[in-house]
Each structure stands twice: as C-alpha cells, then as structure tokens.
Amino acid sequence: HEFNGELESITIIGRIKLQTASVDSISLVSGDKKSVEPSFLSNVFHEILTPINVILGFIQEISESLEKPTEEQKEAVDIIKENQKMLLQTMDTAAEYAALEDNKIQFQPKEIVFVDLLEEIQSSTERTARTNKTELTYGKISSSLKLTTDKHYFTTLITQFLKYAMQISKESKIYLSAYSYGSNQYIVSIKDKRDAITSHLLNGLSDIFTKDEDSIRKSHGFSRITTKLFRKLIVALDARNEIISKNDKPTEFGIIFPDVLEVEAVETEDEFAKAAKEREELLKAKEAELKVEKEEVQEKKESKDEKIKEQVTSPATQTPVEKLLPKEETPVIEKEISKPTVKEEKKPLNLALLRCLYVEDQIDSQILFKVQMKDLQEIDFAKSFEEALPKIKSKEFDFIVMDINLEGEYNGLDALRVIQKLPGYHNKPIIAVTAYVLPGDRDKFIAAGFSDFISKPVLKEKLIDCLEKLF
C-alpha cells in the first residue's frame, strides 16, 4: 500500500559477534597494578611540561621586573628557582625512563677513567649533601680504573646511588669507593663509617633493590619514577648489587659492573637520521653545483688566456724584443714592514637589528617569547609549518626558532628539510626547540641540520647565548 509519511515503529535486526578484546598497551604487574605504555607517558609528559614551561618563564619575567624586591620576595624567588630545577629534573627523569622502557635509546659505550667522573658526580650530589648535612668523601678509588660504558647513564646511576645513601644515612659522611673486583669487572661501593657500613644504611639500600616502589616511597620518601629509572639502569648497564663483608661483618654496599658493557647494535632510521641523510645529500648537491660553476669559470679563463696568447705571438702584432726590455734603473729595495696582527673584535649582539620567525603551536609560549624577546626588531609567529611557509617566502627573516612538535601534518624536522631547499635559506640559522631533551638529542638536531638547539623553557638568557654564537 502507499506510504503516507508516518512511521509506527522501526525494527533493527543485527547479529552479536563475541570477540576477545586486545589490551596491548596495558600489562599486569605485581599486585594487579597496571603499567602504562611508554609512548603514552612521553606524550603526557610533553603535554604537562609545555604549560609548566610557560609558568616558569613568566615567573622569571615577573621576578626580574621587581626593581627593589623585599627580603621575602628574594627568598620566594630563590625557592621558586630551586623548585623549578627539581621539577624539570623530575620531568627529565620521567621522559628518560619512558624512552628507555620504549627502547628508544641506543647506549654508546666508550672508554672512560673513573676518576675523571668525580667532579661531575660531586657537583650533581652537592645539593642533596647540603640538604642532608652530609659530606661526600672518598674511600678506596683506583686512579687507573678504566671502564667501557655509556658515560651519561653510568654517571646518572652512580649519582642517584649516592643521593639515596645521603638521604638514608644518619652519619655525617658518605665514603665512595671504586676498584677492580674479580675477573673483568669492577665495583662502586658506599659506606658511612670509615671502616664499615651502618645497619641503617645497609637496610635502606637493600630496600631500593628488593621492595616495590610504593613501599620505598612510604619508607624513605623517594620518588617512584626515580626508583623505576634507577632499576632500569641497573639492568641496562648489566649491573648487580652486592654486600661486601669482612670477617662476616658487612663493610660496604656495592654495585658490580662489567669492565666492558656489551650492547647490541640496532640499526634504526628515525626522523633525525632521515633529516641528517637529506642534509648530507643537499650539501653534496651544493658541492657538485659549485664544482661545475668553478670548472665553467676555469674553462672561460683558459679560453680567454689562449686568445691573448695567440694575439701576442702573432707575427703581425709581435713587438720588437728591445722595446719589451725595461730601461736600466737603480734598483730600489723596499723594506718589508711586518704589520702587527690585529685580532678582530666580535661586535656585541644587537637584537634591534634582527628579525625572527617563531614557529610554535602554543599561544601562551608565543606570548612568553614576545615578552622576553621584545628587543628584537621584528617577531612574527606561525602555529604550523603550513602557516609559516607563505611568511618565509614573502619576508626575509634573520633567524627562525622552530618547535619540533607542531600543529598540522608537518613537524619541525619536516619543516627544516623544506626550508633549507628554499632560495636564500640554505645557511639561514634555524634553532630547534622542544619541551624535553634526552641525552644525545642535541647532537642529533645539529646533525639533522639545525644551527643550534634549546630545550624549553625558552628563557631569554638561553636564546641570547645561542644567538651570540650564531651572529
């Protein structure tokens, strides 16, 4: 029958299909607790760190604008700065742990002498020692002890090992020792008495290796993420803990390492590698182009010289030899006066002469940059490479600051590859910026073709230091 435009009911017929859900990103650990996928952690850290960087940047701007700060204001600024360092260190630790967990870091073992690391270790533990009124001193350290390991991660591990000891011990001194231990291995050990280790420190350090992160947090107040990174590095550096005893009495708590860290060579071509490869190809193409131009100039010169030679040697135009000989004159001997070499002084950086394009997708970060770099002649902004490209083509900028994570289809590395192929931008300074940095990232950015690299927050002094090197 005919449809009159009215519906009494609708019936949907479907078939239910049972399917097992896949939970690749979550795995169960002890106590039915869930661990989050490392790549997700990295993204979360980036999302958190970006607004934190903006807050820290504006706090610095406000504190520096105080003409005559009171004692309370000075103290508040100092506390903020101290906590800023702690916060950034925590975020770096979290990012580093996520990258290690996600196998995104390739260890680079190199031969190092242990005593060469002592200054860096002392500097890194100085604040913890001061806070806990503890002095770092040295026990038995072999001056000839050499090891082949990843310097950054080894130093990070030993530094954290000492920080744990300084916070656990009730004594006024922590003794650090390092020496060969058995065949093809060495030990880095700690004690808090000249000839022994107290049971309090021994039990506390044992907890770090045996208890779960929540228990350690409750017992000693240590950050869970710091403990996770510490344990991850123990495994990655092929290390293990051991208690050294003498006459059945514990004297030291140590970590044993192999003399040579063996790592599997993993061939991966990430975005940095691709960018570096393209950069190399671009430079080769430029070199080939210059070589062709040079050869063409040389050919023209040789052709011109040949024509002149033909004209000179032609019988019709040949000049008599007598006329070519110079008239006899008394020779004048000029004394060579050596001019003192004057070292050209580098002109001070004048921000008022520089024009900048800042490619950054966070509006708050753009505002902070504008406030801190107000002395520049001109600042232009773009949220994405798609927005930046027309500006780059229509204007001339003295340098570009490029955030790596951008809106749109292209990131900072993609943008770099395109910009360097544009006329006039082959050697234009392009500075990379990102929210957090892992060890070795700066070298990767430079190899990819960036002029320099800055980690957020992009504070004024960081950028000026960078510009002074480039201009």
Three-class HEC string of the chain: CCCCCCCCCCCCCCCCCCCCCCCCCCEEEHHHEEECCHHHHHHHHHHHHHHHHHHHHHHHHHHHCCCCCCHHHHHHHHHHHHHHHHHHHHHHHHHHHHHHHCCCCCCCCEEEEHHHHHHHHHHHHHHHHHHCCCEEEEEEECCCCEEEECHHHHHHHHHHHHHHHHHHCCCCEEEEEEEECCCCEEEEEEECCCCCCCHHHHHHHHHHHHCCHHHHHHHHCCCHHHHHHHHHHHHHCCCEEEEEEECCEEEEEEEEEECECCCCCCCCCCHHHHHHHHHHHHHHHHHHHHHHHHHHHHHHHHHHHHHHHHHHHCCCCCCCHHHHCCCCCCCCCCCCCCCCCCCCCCCCCCHHHCEEEEECCCHHHHHHHHHHCCCCCEEEEECEHHHHHHHHHHCCCCEEEEECCCECCCCHHHHHHHHCCCCCCCCCCEEEEECCCCCCHHHHHHHHCCCEEEECCCCHHHHHHHHHHHC
pLDDT of 124 over the 50 cut = yes
The two tokens of residue 467 are: 């510009």
> What is the per-residue pLDDT across 245-256, written as a single tens digit (0 to 9) for each?
999 999 999 999
Amino acid at 6: E
Most confident listed range (90-94, 238-242, 416-420): 238-242
pLDDT of 145 over the 70 cut = yes
Cβ-contact 351, 373 below 8 angstroms: yes
Q: Can you tell me which residue has the tokens 């004692």?
A: 71
63 or 33, higher pLDDT: 63
Tell me whether strands 27-29 and 33-35 are parallel, antiparallel or unpaired: antiparallel
CA nearest neighbour of 234 among 216, 211, 257, 217: 257
CA nearest neighbour of 161 among 116, 191, 130, 196: 191
pLDDT at residue number 26: 28
Average pLDDT over residues 100-108: 80
Choice among 41-50, 72-81, 186-195 with the minimum mean pLDDT: 41-50
| Residue 196 exposed, middle or buried by CB count within 10 Å (0-12, 13-18, 19+) | middle
Average pLDDT over residues 273-296: 63
Cβ-contact 283, 227 below 8 angstroms: no
CA nearest neighbour of 177 among 93, 251, 269: 251
pLDDT at residue number 401: 96
| Residue 56 exposed, middle or buried by CB count within 10 Å (0-12, 13-18, 19+) | buried
Cβ-contact 419, 406 below 8 angstroms: no
Residue 19: pLDDT band (50, 70, 90) is very low
Phi and psi torsions of 255, nearest 5°: -120, 125
pLDDT of 154 over the 90 cut = yes
What is the pTM assigned to this prediction?
0.64
The proportion of the chain whose per-residue pLDDT surpasses 70, expressed as a percent, equals 73
Choice among 52-61, 153-162, 316-325, 356-365 with the minimum mean pLDDT: 316-325
Cβ neighbours of residue 423 closer than 8 Å, sequence gap 6 or more: none
| Residue 58 exposed, middle or buried by CB count within 10 Å (0-12, 13-18, 19+) | middle
pLDDT at residue number 16: 47
317 or 391, higher pLDDT: 391
pLDDT of 310 over the 70 cut = no
> What is the per-residue pLDDT across 333-384, written as a single tens digit (0 to 9) for each?
555 555 555 556 667 889 999 999 999 988 988 998 999 899 999 999 999 9
- Between CA 191 and CA 199 the distance in angstroms is 10
Residue 105: pLDDT band (50, 70, 90) is confident
pLDDT of 269 over the 70 cut = no
